[in-house]
């Protein structure tokens, strides 16, 4: 039987959601070139920024040998998926399902327990919905992976699939090294010239909105220190297009523009991947860039997605615990403290779980800054010290990346999971 896979993506976090789905589709296609892939995407404009060739306003289009459907193109989608009923649906990041798909799966009123009513029962078989979850380092991911779920129909089965950092999860998507030529063709000339130079520290900034004054101050201080040994040394920040451009450049201007900053255009995904590997320090956010940073072997700070009750601190702490075995104790203590302070929102009230993380941080020494100015000074000090330890940190991050490769390829693990399903 032909491998038929439908990927659902409701874009919430700009490019992180569609970035993962686009990468997963490419990986599945490489491993199973005869598979039939259909993508249903809510924001084709975001998709087109990562994948030149996608048309923003098309209800249905062919791309890379796949069919791509607009989420709300109910008439066209109903016609196609009635003619060729879905077999495996990847519901990425709990995105839900379009109303037209609900009607096909469960009947027009959503309650009949039947699906694809135009097909005879014997021909329908079973539809499998695989909930591909957000990446998390929390312990529960191991137990949740491949756990079965319930639906309203005996003809629709559900299964949970967890990306993750251990061999008991689905792992991360592994890919061949990206093509540098594509990146070079898209970068401004000043970026091409400085990447790879020993007297330049290329730093990539891609984050949620925050106060970047401490980051700018620490980078400036590090540049001054390095210039004692090499007067030509400079930090060069590459500011990725998105939510962090304005707050970062405002902080940079307020500090007197102490080092070069280049505002990047939107880059196709393959070029973005190449850029991550050529920078020496990364600030990243989101799902897809976080996973790529983990595999890059480059030291990075993850800006965890802000959540109610500061729950992002729990997510960040879980990731840090996975990283700990690969860093020297002194380096890890500094890195943990800075990472958690970087992801904190100073005017938000932490819930019980986030407070437990903060209490543990305070118990480890240094207390917790009580005001935003104190926090900025502490962040500047910590980041400066981490930059001075950059070479040792890089060794640890490379070991961490190698350990993730040993967990296997998420796309391969997912295909093997699909092969075991009963239709």
Q: Considering the entire predicted model, what is its pTM?
A: 0.92
> Model confidence at 193, in pLDDT bands (50, 70, 90)?
confident
Averaged pLDDT for residues 173-194: 84
Averaged pLDDT for residues 64-75: 97
**Whole-number average pLDDT of the chain:** 92
* 52, pLDDT greater than 80: yes
Window from 10-14, 86-90, 91-95, 99-103 with minimum mean pLDDT:
10-14
> Model confidence at 12, in pLDDT bands (50, 70, 90)?
confident
Non-local (6+) Cβ contacts of 327 within 8 A are 335, 393, 396
Task: Give the residue from 96, 102, 65 showing the smallest Cα distance to 81.
Answer: 102
Question: What is the reported pLDDT for 289?
Answer: 94
* 121, pLDDT greater than 90: no
Question: Per mean pLDDT, which of 12-26, 64-78, 267-281 is the most reliable?
Answer: 64-78
> Model confidence at 118, in pLDDT bands (50, 70, 90)?
very low
% of the chain residues with pLDDT over 90: 82
Averaged pLDDT for residues 208-226: 97
HEC sequence for the chain: CCCEEEEEECCCCCCHHHHHHHHHHHHHHHHCCCCEEEEEECCHHHHHHHCCCCCCCCCEEEECCEEEEECCCHHHHHHHHHHCCCCEEEEECCCCCCHHHHHHHHCCCCCCCCCCCCCCHHHHCCEEEEEECCCCCCCHHHHHCCCEECCCCCCEEEEEECCCCCCCCCCECCCCCCCHHHHHHHCCHHHHHHCCCCCEEEEEECCCCCCCHHHHHHHHHHHHHHHCCCCCCEEEEEECCCCCHHHHHHHHHHCCCCCCEEECCCCCHHHHHHHHHHCCEEEEECCHHHHHHHHHCCCEEEECCCCHHHCHHHHHHHHHHHHHHHCCHHHHHHHHHHHHHHHCCCCCCCCHHHHHHHHHHHHCCCCCCCCHHHHHHHHHHHHHHHHHCHHHHHHHHHHHHHHHHHCCEHHHHHHHHHHCCCC
277/193: higher pLDDT: 277
* 357, pLDDT greater than 80: yes
Question: What is the reported pLDDT for 280?
Answer: 96
> Model confidence at 13, in pLDDT bands (50, 70, 90)?
low
* CA 180 to chain CA centroid, nearest Å: 21
> Model confidence at 136, in pLDDT bands (50, 70, 90)?
very high
198: alpha, beta or left, given left = phi > 0 and alpha = psi -120 to 50?
A: alpha
Taking only the tens place, the pLDDT of each residue in 283-309 is 999 889 999 999 999 999 999 999 999
């Amino acid at each position: 039987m032909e491998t038929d896979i439908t990927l659902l993506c409701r874009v919430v976090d700009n490019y992180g959601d569609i970035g993962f789905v686009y990468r997963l589709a490419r990986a599945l296609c490489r491993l199973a070139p005869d598979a039939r892939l259909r993508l249903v995407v809510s924001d084709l404009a975001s998709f087109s920024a990562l994948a030149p060739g996608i048309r923003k306003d098309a209800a249905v289009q062919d791309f890379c040998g796949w069919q791509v459907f607009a989420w709300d193109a109910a008439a066209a989608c109903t016609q196609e998926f009635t003619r060729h009923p879905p077999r495996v649906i990847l519901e990425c990041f709990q995105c839900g399902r379009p109303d037209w798909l609900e009607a096909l799966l469960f009947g027009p009123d959503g309650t009949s327990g039947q699906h694809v009513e135009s097909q005879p029962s014997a021909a329908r078989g079973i539809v499998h919905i695989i909930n591909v979850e957000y990446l998390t380092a929390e312990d529960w991911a191991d137990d949740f992976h491949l756990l079965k779920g319930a639906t309203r129909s005996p003809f629709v089965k559900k299964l949970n699939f967890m990306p993750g950092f251990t061999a008991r999860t689905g792992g991360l998507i592994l890919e061949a090294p990206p093509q540098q030529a594509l990146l070079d063709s898209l970068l401004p000339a000043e970026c091409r010239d400085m990447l790879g130079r020993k007297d330049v520290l290329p730093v990539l900034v891609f984050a949620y909105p925050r106060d970047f004054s401490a980051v700018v101050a620490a980078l400036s201080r590090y540049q001054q220190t390095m210039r004692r040994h090499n007067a030509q040394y400079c930090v060069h920040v590459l500011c990725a297009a998105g939510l962090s451009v304005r707050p970062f450049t405002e902080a940079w201007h307020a500090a007197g523009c102490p080092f070069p900053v280049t505002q990047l255009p939107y880059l196709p995904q393959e070029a973005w991947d190449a850029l991550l590997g050529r920078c020496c320090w990364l600030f990243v956010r989101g799902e897809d860039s976080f996973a790529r940073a983990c595999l890059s072997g480059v030291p990075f700070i993850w800006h965890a997605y802000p959540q109610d009750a500061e729950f992002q601190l729990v997510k960040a702490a879980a990731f840090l615990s996975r990283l700990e075995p690969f860093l020297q104790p002194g380096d890890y203590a500094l890195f943990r403290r800075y990472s958690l302070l970087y992801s904190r929102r100073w005017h938000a009230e932490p819930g019980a779980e986030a407070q437990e993380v903060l209490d543990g941080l305070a118990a480890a020494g240094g207390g917790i800054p009580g005001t935003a100015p104190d926090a900025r000074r502490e962040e500047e000090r910590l980041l400066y010290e981490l930059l001075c330890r950059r070479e040792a940190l890089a060794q640890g991050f490379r070991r961490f990346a190698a350990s993730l490769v040993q967990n296997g390829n998420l796309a391969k693990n997912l295909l093997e999971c699909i092969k075991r399903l009963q239709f």
